[in-house]
Amino acid sequence: MKAEDVQEIQGVILAVHRCDSRHVESVPVVEQFEGQIAWQGTVEVFDLIGHSKAKRAYAWTYRDGDQDKTVTVLDIPPVDSPQNAVKMAIAAKAKQGQKTTT
């Protein structure tokens, strides 16, 4: 991953989670659901500096229309790996999509 991309994600972590971070590694992840690829990409792993509840965060950026969006997931149980971070993000997005107003 390019240094400027890492810095951009670190800026999101700082804005969202109010702490500094240090990039640790890039982990390729393929998440499948019912035999189909639900998500495929690279998850960036960051150590958090000064966060009160988590020591690590997982993050990735994706394209949504003409905008880049960044997802950050804290390493708080049940999230304990890049793979679980992706699973939780997919589940949270699906749950959001199920909400209806009456």
Q: What tens digit of pLDDT does each residue of 30-88 get? A: 999 888 998 999 999 999 999 999 999 999 998 889 999 999 999 999 999 999 999 99
Distance CA 93, CA 69 (A): 13
Tell me how far CA of residue 68 lies from CA of 15, 22, 65, in angstroms. Answer: 16, 22, 8
Closest CA to 48 of 86, 9, 84, 87: 9
Quote the number of domains for the chain. 1
Residue span of the structural domain in which 61 resides: 3-98
**φ, ψ dihedrals at 83, nearest 5°:** -65, -45
Q: Tell me the HSE value of 16 on the side-chain side, using a 13 A CA sphere.
A: 16
When pLDDT is cut at 50, 70 and 90, the band that residue 102 belongs to is: very low
Distance CA 46, CA 25 (A): 7
- pTM to 2 decimal places: 0.88
